[in-house]
Structure formats: C-alpha cells, structure tokens
Amino acid sequence: MSVKPPVPPFTRESAREKVRLAEDGWNSRAPEKVALAYTDDSRWRNRAEWITGREEIVAFLTRKWARELDYRLIKELWAHDGHRIAVRFAYEWHDDSGNWYRSYGNENWEFDDHGLMRVRYACINDSPIEESERRFHWPLGRRPDDHPGLTALGF
C-alpha cells in the first residue's frame, strides 16, 4: 500500500504541509503525478462533474490543463479535524483566446490512513480579470516560498 505523508490524524502543522504538497502537485500540471495522491477509488465532485478513480482523475486534469493555460494556484488551510482538511484556493489562468480568469473556491478533503485522498468536494467560481489584474507572478511550476499566499494578497 502506498503511503503519502503526512498522514492523519492531522495537526495544524501537518495539515498545512499537506495543503502545500497538494498545491505543489497541482502547480506541476502533471496529471499522472497528481493522481498518485488519491486513492485508486477516490471520489470527486468538481463543480458539476463527478469523478471516480485515478483514471478519471488523469483524464479530467488533462482536459483541465489543456483549457486552463498558464495555470498558477495558491491553496490555504481553512480547517482540519482527524482525517479531514478544508481549504480555500484561488488560481489564475487564461483561455486559448487570451482571456484571463481568477478562479476562487473551497475544497473539502478526506484521507485514508495512508495519507491518500479518498474524497474531494470542490466548489469553484470563475471571475474574468484583465491581464494587468493578475497577482500570481512566478515561473510556471511550484510557487516560490517567498511569494505571498491568499491572505497576504487580500483574497
């Protein structure tokens, strides 16, 4: 059985670490790598879409990042308890016509004893922005440690 530390039950510090690891994974935009953080039978609700299992996760993320270009994400811990973590997040991206968006949302996560996410519920709203309104400025990939988080950015 694969183990993905940190594992539950989560402390405030281990929950923050888990959130940052999830952010880093999603900022890699590597669907196969990201899917390894979830159980084989993981269940998601992402907006109005229901996804089950790693194969569907990979397909979903592949479609997502083909449409959401120059994707940059910041996640922030909201709450934690035992095997569960709640986060809020924002990400910026543009479509193939050059229209920029900032997407905001909340996620509720539940983990198995090995630290793999077995349930993910995401609520997301997209807000059109001008390119000049972008706030997430770092090279594609992992957000640098010195880049402000959501609270520091006023989101």
Integer CA distances (angstroms), 2 to 16, 39, 111, 130, 150, in order: 21, 9, 13, 43, 31
Tally of residues, the chain: 155
Q: pLDDT for 13-31, tens place per residue?
A: 999 999 999 999 999 999 9
Which domains, ranges and CATH numbers included, belong to the chain?
Answer: 12-136+144-153 (3.10.450.50)
Model confidence, pTM:
0.97
Q: pLDDT for 71-116, tens place per residue?
A: 999 999 999 999 999 999 999 999 999 999 999 999 999 999 999 9
